[in-house]
Structure 1
Amino acid sequence: MACQAVTSLGSTLAVKLLSTTRVDDAAYGIYSHRLGDVWLVGGASNTGGAVLRRFFSDVQLRELTQALEPERPTGLDYYPLLSPGERFPVADPDLQPRMSPRPEDDAVFLQGLLEGMASVEAAAYRRLAEMGASPLQEVLTAGGGAANPKWTLIRQRLLGVPVRAAEQGEACYGAALLARQGVKAARAQRAA
């Protein structure tokens, strides 16, 4: 079964993948929730929008995004973190942030950060696949980063699957749907 996934691009980067196989690994912070006949498998990285906020305001992000060239990789090999330590897709409490060298052009620096986050996202989905989760087919995006079409193109290039904004962009919407499903299942069990 090739499946859809959701990446939440908020202060951190969280991934969730529909899978026919349950995958759990506390060392990597990987967990599974039952969702009907399948599993919602996922984890969260320490990278994300909080790193961008360290360097740029909302106005700067909007302005610099116009200069991004998603079809031309920067070649920067960043692993954007606010402080040392990563939980997923790498379980390394001492992993050092990698955000240098910093180019003079802020747009190139921003693109390098976005490419680094997209690389972490791709590694997260690879980690889930290595552990037996269903293959990735498409990624829906929620959270603040979902509104950046150039970041979406960078992510699509690195993930190798279609990437699009979710109809409901708020990350809490999915949690609310899962809670509703859980309540319905509990009521059905009590009624049986």
Structure 2
Amino acid sequence: TIDPEPGPGFDSYPLPATGERFPIADPALPPRLAPRPADDADYLKAMFEGIAAIEALGYDRLAELGAPTLISVRSVGGGAANPAWTAIRRRRLGVDFLPALSDEAAAGTARLALMGASRAGLL
């Protein structure tokens, strides 16, 4: 099992290859995947931590560009059912994780489009 609390530092930046576009525009940015912890659970936790850090950087960058500050997250899919992954994300993002209103990704996308259309006075 994975303990979602912070542990020995493993500063991962899990990219599939060199180069990143968002949240850091750097075509030469290398992945940080080493040194690899010997224990597979520790390695998976390090990947979770790295992905959560990238997610936080993404939300920070969106706010810098004028998007509203993140106040809560709703997640669906297999990862959302993983309590360790959810706890790591919650800790890293520092916002409430609310239950999803639907487990269909299209429903969330439609809800966002409806909110945008409403705010733009299109409805």
Give the TM-score normalised by structure 2: 0.82
Q: Relative contact order: is structure 1 or structure 2 higher (C-alpha 8 Å, sep ≥ 6)?
A: 1
Q: CA RMSD in A?
A: 2.3
2:52 to 96, 118, 122: 118
CA distance 1:89–1:144, change in 2 (3 Å): same
2:97 to 160, 163, 183: 163
Alignment of 1:132 onto 2:79? no
**Contact 1:84/1:94 (<8 A) preserved:** yes
Alignment of 1:152 onto 2:117? no
139-148 or 151-160, which deviates more:
139-148
Separation in 1 of the partners of 2:8 and 2:104? 30
Alignment of 1:99 onto 2:33? yes
Q: Deviation string for 1:24-83 (max 9, x for gaps)?
A: xxxxxxxxxxxxxxxxxxxxxxxxxxxxxxxxxxxxxxxxxxx11111334111011111
Separation in 1 of the partners of 2:13 and 2:59? 16
Larger radius of gyration between Structure 1 and Structure 2: 1
Unmatched runs of 5 consecutive residues or more in structure 1? 1-66
1:172 to 97, 106, 113: 106
Separation in 1 of the partners of 2:97 and 2:7? 18
Separation in 2 of the partners of 1:155 and 1:111? 11
Unmatched runs of 5 consecutive residues or more in structure 2? none
Separation in 2 of the partners of 1:78 and 1:122? 14
> Percent identity at matched positions?
52
Partner of 1:6: none
Partner of 2:3: 69
Question: Runs of 4+ in structure 1 displaced over 4 angstroms?
Answer: 176-179
1:177 CA drift (Å): 4.6
Separation in 2 of the partners of 1:145 and 1:136? 20
Q: Greater strand percent: which structure?
A: 1
The count of residues paired between Structure 1 and Structure 2 equals 118
Structure 1 residues 17-96: aligned runs within 5 Å? 67-96=1-30
- Please state whether the residue corresponding to 1:136 is helix, strand or coil: coil
Give the TM-score normalised by structure 1: 0.55
